[in-house]
Chains A and B, each alone.
Chain A
Amino acid sequence: MQALQSHLFAVREYLSPVLKESKFKEHGRITPEEFVAAGDFLVYKFPVWSWEKGDPSKARDFLPADRQYLVTRGVPCLRRAQSLAYTDADEDAERLLSFGDGGTSAGEGEEWVETHAGRKVSQNQSNAVLEEIPDVDDGGDDLARGVAGLSLGGGVGKGAQETPDLADLDDIPDMEEDLEEADEATAKPKPAAVVSSASAAGAASSPAEPAKTNLLQVRTYDVMITYDKYYQTPRLWLIGYDENRTPLNPQQIFQDISADHAQKTVTIEQFIHSSSLQAASVHPCKHSSVMKKIIERMNNSVVAEQLAQHAKAGSSAGAAASKDTGKKKWFGRKSNSSVKEPVNEDEEVEGMRVDFYLVVFLKFIASIVPTIEVDSTTSF
């Protein structure tokens, strides 16, 4: 059923025309050119992101061949979204507040939460979350599989259940044991259960100590952003690894997605720039409306700030014009235009630029995957 749907979506996307006109402030959608511009800005500003070409046979002709999608690897995920379930709503509100205009009330934050998936406000949300926690399922699943002796592979990260295959493999390398054990300059491997993946070698040091006692299971994610032609928005894809850097299965990935979205807006689908790769994806059907709301909010504050700056610059430049040559020059450029003030305001106060689109998009995504640190953009 879902496969059918995926195909249908693929056809629909293929048939829909490429968006030409900039509409990002009106309804939150962007053109491929704007996607590239916003992507360039993201890559420039946050070098953890980079452009990828993807499978050439899957390349989309409305995007430059070397800028098909954005990727960042090894994004840390310190804990499971389930453990945040109760504070989820608060987090969202907090995030919105951080968008800038100091006057944002909690009410507005809730409004946004509501708008998004048409779900209830915070009080009811925690109930809903409780019902939907999929961990019982998952744990049972693993156990059942382990008991049934199906070859799950130690790969799934349960170090304790060593399958026969893996036990066999452990026999291989006796010859090297001596060599490496004798090497005093190799930092000791840390027990996998205690220290987490990427910080695996991180132990032994005081700053890492408290983290260890919390038994953090740090997963990492590869995060991709593609352009969805039908919805005319970016689309997010996730591939996860556990603390031993073994790929996560779908159930495990859903643990890191806020319960309201797991298996609803987030599904496992074929990654559009590969012929076979499967990845978890946030379905973009609601992206444009949410983005519109956030952009409106941000734009207002950006405009206000620019106005304030402009007013300040204008008055100070006027006052300082006589002595400060540098400022005079700058001021002079503007006063070349016949009608001074109104025109200046138009060109100065352009509001939020489309380059910021993906930065904002990541803030929005952070509420869907609250524990995956996709939002490295704290400076905004």
Chain B
Amino acid sequence: MPILQFAPFSSVVSPAFWHKLTDLKIDVLRLDDAPVGISGSYGPGRSVHDRETGQDIVMNASFSVDGESFAGGADTAAGQHGATRTVYATGSFKNFNTIEEFKNADKNKLFNDEAQEIWQSIVASRSAKQLTRFFLISYADLKKYKYYYWFAFPAFVSKPAWEIEADGWKNVRTVFSADQLASIDGQVHADRQFFVVSKQGKVGAIEEYEAFFASVPAHERIVGFIDPSADPVNPGWPLRNLLAYLRALYPAHTTSVQVLRWRDLTSSQLGTVSLPAPLPSTTTDRPSAVGWERNPQGKLGARVADLAPMMDPTRLAAQAV
């Protein structure tokens, strides 16, 4: 069986985020470079119909931070209007005062601290709220309007790796009836980016796994998540930590897991992922984690946002003719 590969998150930083950072840096934080809590968000992946060629183009949802990310984080953001499927994730943000500090920072330590935090939330509180925790480091060159930044989305590595059944991912419409899908659609929302589903289309929070599936045979248990990846083969990054969560808390039932990649009524997918036997004895040690974002050159490295064309008053004046 092929190894299951996950589509990494791709980050988008709204210029509003850098504007806000600039204001904070000048007025509030100044030289304080202690980490601050921020929130980021992602939605379900989608495909776009290209009117020119008639093809559907796969669009993975990006992980974005914006001007609101500093304000209160997920708590305030979750109270938004509308049936939005935008999932809010909490994270921490550390802005370094000099480029040297940014370069020389002990990134392994930063990364491991964050991974530890996620692991703690799993084993200690059994909560799935921190599974999409992320962090962002940056250096802001305020005079040149240039921002160096690097995201990390820690995800636990499963050893041995998860494998996907030979028949791959099936469209949900072949599994659920239209009514059941509509019922699932109505019950999936941003506060439940991870959830459990029954064959009848009932939905519960992932934390209720045990009670929800108490009288459900193993092969009918389905776990779902809002999938930022629209790729037909590679599920999105959040699934990695969801599987780690299930392995850590319910090792007896989760050598094979039916996963629902929820996007919308028509394109969501269902598949069975499993661990190859024989399994090593389960431990509660923290698995290793990966998740630094790659830059446009495909390397593990920082990105640069040059906002001079949109922020520098002289440049703006020049283009406004």
Nearest-CB distance from B31 to chain A (Å)? Answer: 22
- A155, B292: Cβ atoms under 8 Å? no
Interface members, chain A 138-175 (any B CB < 8 Å): 151-157, 159, 162, 165-166, 168-173, 175
Residue in A closest to B67 when the chains form the complex, CB atoms: A274
Nearest-CB distance from B98 to chain A (Å)? Answer: 13
CB neighbours (8 Å) of B81 from chain A are 40, 43, 50-51, 66-67
A187 to B9, CA, bound (A): 10
Nearest-CB distance from A223 to chain B (Å)? Answer: 12
Contact with B along A340-375 (1 / 0, CB 8 A): 000000000000000000000000000000000100
Residue in B closest to A43 when the chains form the complex, CB atoms: B82
CB neighbours (8 Å) of A53 from chain B are 68
The size of the chain B interface, using a CB distance under 8 A, is: 83
Contact with A along B273-308 (1 / 0, CB 8 A): 000000000000000101010111111111111110
- A76, B319: Cβ atoms under 8 Å? no
Q: A153-B146, A173-B300 are in contact. Are A50 and B306 (CB under 8 A)?
A: no
Q: A205 is contacted by which of B15, B232, B303 (Cβ under 8 Å)?
A: B232
Q: A172-B301, A210-B53 are in contact. Are A50 and B86 (CB under 8 A)?
A: yes
Q: A247-B310, A373-B48 are in contact. Are A50 and B10 (CB under 8 A)?
A: no
Does A186 sit within 8 A of B, measured CB to CB?
yes
Q: A74-B12, A170-B299 are in contact. Are A247 and B82 (CB under 8 A)?
A: no
Does A331 sit within 8 A of B, measured CB to CB?
no
Q: How large is the interface on A (under 10, 10 to 19, 20 to 34, 35 or more residues)?
A: 35 or more
Contact with B along A311-337 (1 / 0, CB 8 A): 000000000000000000000000000
CB neighbours (8 Å) of A230 from chain B are none
CB neighbours (8 Å) of A274 from chain B are 16, 19, 67
A200 to B9, CA, bound (A): 10
Does B57 sit within 8 A of A, measured CB to CB?
yes
Residue in B closest to A197 when the chains form the complex, CB atoms: B10
Interface window among B126-134, B157-165, B196-204: B157-165
Q: A155-B305, A244-B296, A274-B19 are in contact. Are A208 and B57 (CB under 8 A)?
A: yes
Q: A3-B320, A201-B231, A239-B15 are in contact. Are A176 and B292 (CB under 8 A)?
A: yes
B interface with A by C-beta (< 8 Å): 3-8, 10-16, 19, 22-23, 43, 48, 50, 52-53, 55-62, 64, 66-68, 80-86, 103, 107-108, 111, 144, 146, 148, 157-158, 161-162, 229-234, 240, 288, 290, 292, 294-307, 309-311, 316-317, 319-321
Does A73 sit within 8 A of B, measured CB to CB?
yes
Total CB contacts across the A-B interface at under 8 A = 251
A interface with B by C-beta (< 8 Å): 1-3, 40, 43-44, 47-53, 55, 66-67, 73-74, 76, 78-79, 151-157, 159, 162, 165-166, 168-173, 175-177, 179-180, 183-189, 191-192, 197-208, 210-211, 214, 216, 218, 220, 222, 239, 241, 244-247, 249-251, 263, 267-268, 274-278, 373
